Structures are given as C-alpha cells and as structure tokens.
Structure 1
Amino acid sequence: MKVFSWYDLVSGELDLSKEFSDNSNQLQLFSNGTALTIGAFDGPHLGHKRIFSAVMAKSKLLHGVITFSKLPRAKKEGTAFAGTLSTLSQRLKRFADSGFDFVILIDFSLDFARMSGRAFLDVLSRFLKMRFLAVGRNFRCGYQVDTGAAELSEYAAEKKITLELVPEFCINNERVSSSRIRDYIEKAEFAIAKDFLGYSYEIDCSSFVISEIEKEISESVIKLKSVNGFAQIMPPVGLYNVCIEVLFCDSSGEPKMRSFAGSCEVNPTFLLCRFSCQVACLKVQTIRFNVF
C-alpha cells in the first residue's frame, strides 16, 4: 500500500499512473478509475469495515482511502480532546490489511477547512479518476459541512460516479461509533469496546520512552513515558491484565518480537508494565488490554 499527501495530489506532483507503473495489475486497475472512501476512521471499527468491504467489492478499480494525518476533532479541541482510539501508524496498518492500494493523507489546515464539499469532490474526480465512492449515510464534508447525502447523490449522478451510502452498523440496538468506543475505553469496559472494534484495544507504544527498567526474580518491570503525553484514549488509573508485545535480543543478539502476558498500571503520566521475561527488552511496541 502506498501513502501520499493531499498536497502532493492538489499540487499536481502526484501521478498515480507513474506511481503504480511497477505493478501492471494496479496500473490496469487505475486506468479504469478508483473506488474510494473518505473519513477519519478512528479505530477502525466494525462499522468502518462494512464501508471498506463495499470499496473492496469493486474488483476492477484501484482501491483508496482519503483520510487525515491527525483527526480533525483532535485539532479542533486541542488539549480538551481525551485521545484517539488509534495512532496514524495503526490506522495505516489496518488499511493495508483491508487490501487498500493507496491512502491520501490530509493535513486539516485552515485552507482545507474552507474548501467546499463540491470542490473537494472535484479534486478526487480530477486527480484520482473517482468512479465509485462509499461512505456512511451520515457522512458530511466541506466548509460548514455543506455536503451531505443529498448533495453527494446529486454530484454522483452528474459525474456518473456510483455512490453507496452504507447504513449505520448496530450491536444490541446501539450504533457503533468511534465516540462511543472512546466512552467505553474511558470506563475500562474493554469487552464492549472489543465487540465494537472487532479486536482488543491496543496502545501503540512505538513512540514511548523507557524511563526505567527493573529486573526482579522472575519478571521485568518497565516504566514507559510519552514525550508529548498520551495521544490515545486511556482507561482510568488502575491495574489491568494485558498482553505486551516487546522487541528484545535473543541469545544470538538478533532483535526479535514477542508477546508476553503481564499487567499494566495506568497512571496520568506513565505506564508501569510487568511481565515474565528473562531477555533484554529493547522496546515495548504495543499493550493490548485483555478481555475475560
């Protein structure tokens, strides 16, 4: 999967026919046009996956995601925003796992925020040869959210684009949404969060710093800090059963990845991880909250 910036797209510097010239199948698909979806896709969760499936069903088109490098809500709310469900690297991995060919990352700047919905769609039509678009029924875009289902339908008919408005996805009569999942994480209700996400909630620790390491008789104790604070939503202060994925050196000195069952003490400014490990830990990659 290839990742490009919105600036590359609108500046005319991005030519997908050249970018995919090394893959004859993808090049042929792009000649037919693209199947796209648009959204923040924080998670992504099971509702998002239904949208992804609609895009991937268009087997004769190149598949792409238009998303944000940083969630617009996080930019707007600043320090008042409690955190995201996923980091950009986690989202990109799940896009790739879903089978997408490319991602366009938007930096939610003031200039972009002032763009009308129609102007935004025109960019996708002109530079990406959009032939199919799948979004949720409640999707809106553009300056002062001027473009919703009615405007999208009108635009699609005019440009001969196939539009699929995917119904909301519910579990036990509750709509699956990123906001709702964040609420459950803040209450440490990991089982419901897992049901909505389709996988256990994970903290991406790749940018965290190991500030302390202690070796006890049968376990390692590692204190993790984030230089700029926690970007992801955290459960309440407390002790949790987790699965910890670490990078370590084996007896040959080669770095390897391995998962360990352990515990994580969540504090406002740091995480304290304990797990049975008799090897030298180089880095903690992820912390997955277990559900019993």
Structure 2
Amino acid sequence: MIVHNGFENLEGIKNAVVTIGTFDGIHLGHQEIISRIIELAKSINGETALVTFWPHPRYVLSQNSDEMKLLTTFDEKAEILSQLGLDHIVRVNFTKEFSQWTSEQFIQRIIISALHTKRLVIGYDHRFGKDREGGFEHLKQHSGRYGFEVEEISKQTIDDVGISSTKIRNAVEAGKVELAHDFLGRFYEINGKVVGGDKIGKTLGFATANIQIEETYKLIPADGAYAVIAEVNNQQYKGMLNIGFRPTIDGKTKKIEANIFDFNEDIYGEKIKISFIKRLRDEVKFDSKVDLSNQLQKDKERALQILNLHRQKQ
C-alpha cells in the first residue's frame, strides 16, 4: 500500500475505485466499504484508494477538540488498511481553508482531476464539502457529467452493523475492551515506546515495561488492570497491564505499565504494541505493598486463564 501525502502530484493509480472519510478505528462498518471497493476494483482491473483527512476535521473546526481522542493514530490506521488490502491512502491536509471548499471544488480537484476516479463508493448519509452540502443524491445526479459511477453503501447494511466510532470510543473509555473488539473485529490496541521507570514493579516481583504514547490524541482505555498480548520485535507474549496512578505507592502521574510474562529482555527504547483482551479489575489502593504483590499474583493467574482460552479460540 502507498500513502500519498497530499493530492497535488498523484499519478499511476489505475482505474481508481475511491471512497472518502476519516475512518477512525477502521471498524466493521468501515470494513464493509473497503471490501466493496476492493470487489469493484477487481471487476475493472483497477486499484483502490481512500481519501482521508489529517488532522481529524474536529481538531480544526471544534472549540472543544482537546477533549476528543481517536481510536487510531494515522500509522495504526494505515497498517490496518494495508492488512485489509487497500492499495492507496490519499492523506489530505485538513485546514480551515480546506474546510471552506464546496463539494464541487472537492469533486473537481481531488476526485476527478487528481484521482481520475472510475467508481466512487460512500457510506450511507456521508456528507462532504462546506457545510456538508455534498452527498449521494448530488453525486448520482451529476455522475454523467463527472465521468464516474457512484454507489452508496445502503442504510440497511450500515444499520445491520450498528457501529459508530463514537460507540467504540465510549466502550474503550469505560474499559469495555471486549465490546470494542466486537465492534472493531479485532482487539483494541495501543502502540508506544518502552521507557525507563522507577523499577518499583521489580521490587514487587513483577517487573514492568513503562509505555510512552507519543500521540497525545490517542484514546487510552479506562484506568485499571487488563489481560493483554504484548508484541515486541514481531514476537507476541502474554501479559497484564495497568493504567493509572498507582495509589498504593502514592503515584503522582498516570502510567501505562505492562508486565510481560516469561520475559526478561532489555527492551528500553523499543516499540511495543499492546492488544487489550479483557479488563481484570479497577485500580485499587491496597494497605501495603505486600497486599499489592499478592493481588498482582492473582491478576497474573486470571490473566493466564483468559489468555490461554483466547489462544484456544484462535
């Protein structure tokens, strides 16, 4: 898959079959659209492209943009789309100036002139252009003049899936990572870098990898303990992870700490991917570090039961 930064110098996309959207999370509803454009591209010996916007339009247009977190960073989104079989991502820089483009400007400059689109597929009730003026009816009415065919994923299909990025964000914020999995068709994940910590976990018998997430807009699940799969250097390991302030040791800042089972390598500075399998419990303040250590042992035993069952289902 090729990521194009901007649309100004696009070339070489053959018989482009295109869709449009932010596609945060690449949930099952988004996957319906990607599957459809792949199917159409095969029928005309073409290539698929998603026109997406970065930063997310709400970060540019909303006064409360700091409150909004995203399910996927751009790199995560690109990796998932590549795995789904998409050929091209066209990343359009979303600015206030761009937000003033009319739907006709958007169609003429990007869909027609830049991409030479043969087929355009949009989700039910998708709107675009200034004041969200553009939509399926307009596209259908003018498709002859535009020179491409247009298709809308039906309301029934979208309703059957019953998914929105907002629903998934609400699930993740509540720690309901299993529900998020059902909506996404995969486990919710975070990607970060392993950084040095205070090594308190090691004194408790549970050494942890402290994870730093560089993208401040990335949605982090609710505080608490989770059973997880950790991926380091393309190898997967069972583990458990805590998100929170570590009240038993009077933690002052929120941390994300993973205890990777049967693992003792030095991975400082390495990239790590965490897949959330199930929430184990809330973060709790214990009476002593001994009590905390005993609870961590119970957490590990439960996490192993969950992760072994997960592996059997695969």
Distance 1:275 1:219, change over 3 A: farther
State the SS of the aligned residue for 2:37.
helix
- For 1:288 and 1:274, the matched residues in 2 are separated by 13
TM-score normalized by structure 2? Answer: 0.76
Q: 1:269 to 1:154 in 2, by over 3 A?
A: farther
What is the aligned partner in structure 1 of residue 128 from structure 2?
141
- Deviation string for 1:127-158 (max 9, x for gaps)? 21111011101100001111122212223243
User: How many pairs does the alignment contain?
Assistant: 260
1:246 aligns with 2:223: no
Aligned CA-pair RMSD: 2.2
- Name the counterpart of 1:113: 99
Structure having the larger proportion of residues in helix: 2
CA shift digits 1:214-250 (9 cap, x unpaired):
4569753122233563x22222211111111123xxx
Q: What percentage of residue pairs aligned between the two structures are identical? A: 22
Q: 1:170 deviation in Å?
A: 5.5
Using structure 1 for the length normalisation, give the TM-score: 0.81
Q: Which amino acid aligns with 1:212?
A: G
Q: Describe the superposition over 1:258-292 as per-residue Cα deviations: whole angstroms up to 9, x where unpaired.
A: 22211111127320111221222242421110145
1:279 and 1:119 map into 2 onto residues whose CA distance is 54
Which of 176, 189, 192 pairs up with 1:202?
189
Number of the residue aligned with 2:75 = 89
What does the per-residue CA deviation read over 1:169-227, in whole Å, with 9 as the maximum and x for residues that have no partner?
468x672111111111111122221111010100121xx45131745697531222335
Specify the SS of the correspondent of 2:51.
strand
Match of 2:291 in 1: none
Computing the radius of gyration from Cα coordinates, the structure with the larger value is: 2
1:127 aligns with 2:104: no
Match of 2:241 among 264, 278, 283: 264
Residue pair 1:211, 1:225 contacting (<8 A) in 2 also: no
Unaligned regions of 5+ residues in structure 2, if any? 245-252, 279-305, 307-314
- Aligned mates of 2:242, 2:206 — CA distance in 1: 15
Query: Match of 1:251?
Result: none
Greater share of strand: 1
Which blocks of at least 5 consecutive residues in structure 1 are unaligned? 18-25, 248-256
Other-structure match for 2:222: 236
- Superposed, 1:151-190 pairs within 5 Å as 151-168=138-155, 169=157, 175-190=162-177
User: SS where residue 130 of structure 1 aligns?
Assistant: coil
The answer to whether the 8 A contact 2:189-2:274 is kept is yes
Instruction: Establish whether residue 5 from structure 1 lines up as the match of residue 10 from structure 2.
Output: no
Alignment match of 1:48 (pick from 30, 34, 38): 30
| Aligned mates of 1:132, 1:281 — CA distance in 2 | 46
Equivalent position of 2:310 in the other structure: none
* Moved >6 Å (runs of 4+): none
